[in-house]
Amino acid sequence: MGRMDKFLRNGKSLILAYDQGLEHGPTDFNSSNVNPKYVFDIANSGGFDAVVFQKGIAENYYQKGGVPLLLKLNGKTSIYGKDPLARQNCSVDHAVKIGASAVGYTIYIGSKYESEMFSEFGRIQEEAHGVGIPVVLWIYPRGEYVKGDTTKEMMAYATRTALELGADAAKIKYGGNAEDFKWAVISAGKMPVYMAGGPKANTEEDFLKHVKETIMAGGTGAAVGRNVWQSDNPARTAKRLNAIVIQGKSVSEALEIK
Ligand code: FBP
C-alpha cells in the first residue's frame, strides 16, 4: 500500500489548502472565509481528501474524525521579498498528536537558502516515514536567479527535485501549457503531482479548464484554496472539481452541475 493511498479516489485526489492567512495575510479573506470553521466545513462536505492547515489553525479548529489533516510544517509571510526561506515551525510528532494524517513542507528551489530547506526536509521526511505518514512537498522555484517559475524546465526541475528528495507527492504551480506539465509529471516518476491553484481565476470555467488540463497531462489532482473558498458557491465549485478530477468528466459536463 502506498503512503498516499489514503488520499486517493480512483487514483485521483483533491486537497483544500487553507494556509494563506500566513502566506499572504488576511487580505485573501472576506467575512465568511476568514473563519477557519467555514473552510473546514467546505473541506468536510465538499468531497476533499485532505485539508491543509498550519499548526495554530489545526489546534483550534481541526476535529479528529473529519476530513484528513495535512499539516504544513513550515511557512512564511509575504512581507520579505527576496530569496525566501521558510523554516519548520511544528514537529512531526506534534502534527500527529493534533490529528495529522500527512505533513507538508515548502521548498523554494533556486533560493539561496534551498540547501537549508533540503536539509530540514530530509529530517522531516525520515521522521514522517518513521511514523508511517506521507510528506507532501510544495515545491516552488523562487529567488533572485529564478526567471520564470512555471517554464517547462522549472516545473520539471521542481517535480524531479521532489522525487530526488523522497517526497510522497509534489505540489507545483501550473503555467498553462499542458505539454510542459506532462513533462513535469513524467519527470516525477511514480510520485503523484498536484496542481496548485493560484489567485482566483477570472471565471470558474477558466479555473476548471486548468484543472482539467493538468489531469489530462497525468496530474493526480488539485491542491487548491482560493478558487474554492473565495467562490460565491464553494459547495458547487467543490462538486464540479470532483466531477473533473475524480469522475473524469469534461469541463462542460462539470459546469452543468448546479
Ligand atoms: P491557492 O490555491 O489559494 O493558490 O493555494 C495554494 C497554495 O500553495 C497555498 O497552499 C499557499 O498558501 C499558497 O498557494 C502559496 O502561494 P504563493 O507562495 O505563490 O504565495
Rg from Cα positions in the chain: 17
Q: What is the pLDDT of residue 81?
A: 83
User: Using one digit for the tens of pLDDT, what is the confidence trace for 84-99?
Assistant: 999 999 999 999 999 9
User: Using one digit for the tens of pLDDT, what is the confidence trace for 111-144?
Assistant: 999 999 999 999 999 999 999 999 999 999 999 9
Q: Assess whether the C-beta atom of 198 lies below 6 angstroms from ligand 1.
A: yes
Q: Assess whether the C-beta atom of 225 lies below 6 angstroms from ligand 1.
A: yes
Q: What is the pLDDT of residue 130?
A: 98
- Give the whole-angstrom CA distance, residue 117 versus residue 139: 11
Whether residue 8 is predicted with pLDDT greater than 80 in this model: the reply is: yes
Q: Assess whether the C-beta atom of 180 lies below 6 angstroms from ligand 1.
A: no
User: What number is the average pLDDT over the span 206-227?
Assistant: 98
Q: Assess whether the C-beta atom of 149 lies below 6 angstroms from ligand 1.
A: no
Find the 21 Cα to ligand 1 centroid distance in Å: 10
Residue 166: exposed, middle, or buried by beta-carbon count in 10 A (0-12, 13-18, 19+)?
Answer: middle
* Distance, first Cα to last Cα, the chain: 36
User: Using one digit for the tens of pLDDT, what is the confidence trace for 63-84?
Assistant: 999 999 999 999 999 998 889 9
What is the 8-class DSSP label of residue 200? P
pLDDT band at 234 (very low <50, low <70, confident <90, very high): very high
**C-alpha cell recorded at residue 172:** 507545483
pLDDT band at 28 (very low <50, low <70, confident <90, very high): very high
- Give the whole-angstrom CA distance, residue 158 versus residue 108: 9
What are the residues whose beta carbons fall under 8 Å from the beta carbon of 153, sequence distance 6 or more? none
Counting ligand 1 atoms within 8 A of each CB, the residue from 15, 23, 82, 208 with the most, and so the one to mutate, is 23
Per-residue CA distances from 217 to 16, 31, 57, 185 (Å): 21, 37, 34, 8
Whether residue 207 is predicted with pLDDT greater than 80 in this model: the reply is: yes
Find the 197 Cα to ligand 1 centroid distance in Å: 7
Mean pLDDT, all residues of the chain: 97
Half-sphere exposure of 99 (CA within 13 A, CB side): 20
Q: What is the pLDDT of residue 11?
A: 96
- Give the whole-angstrom CA distance, residue 135 versus residue 116: 17
Catalytic position from the list 171, 173, 182, 212: 171
CATH of the domain at 247: 3.20.20.70
Q: What is the pLDDT of residue 87?
A: 98
Q: What is the pLDDT of residue 80?
A: 87
Domain count, the chain: 1
Of 235, 256, 239, the C-alpha closest to 247 is 239
User: Using one digit for the tens of pLDDT, what is the confidence trace for 34-51?
Assistant: 999 999 999 999 999 999
136 residue type, one letter = V
Domain with 48, as residue range(s), is: 5-255
| Beta strand 193-196 pairing with 169-172 | parallel
Whether residue 176 is predicted with pLDDT greater than 80 in this model: the reply is: yes
Is 140 tagged catalytic?
Answer: yes
User: What number is the average pLDDT over the span 173-185?
Assistant: 97
Q: What is the pLDDT of residue 98?
A: 97
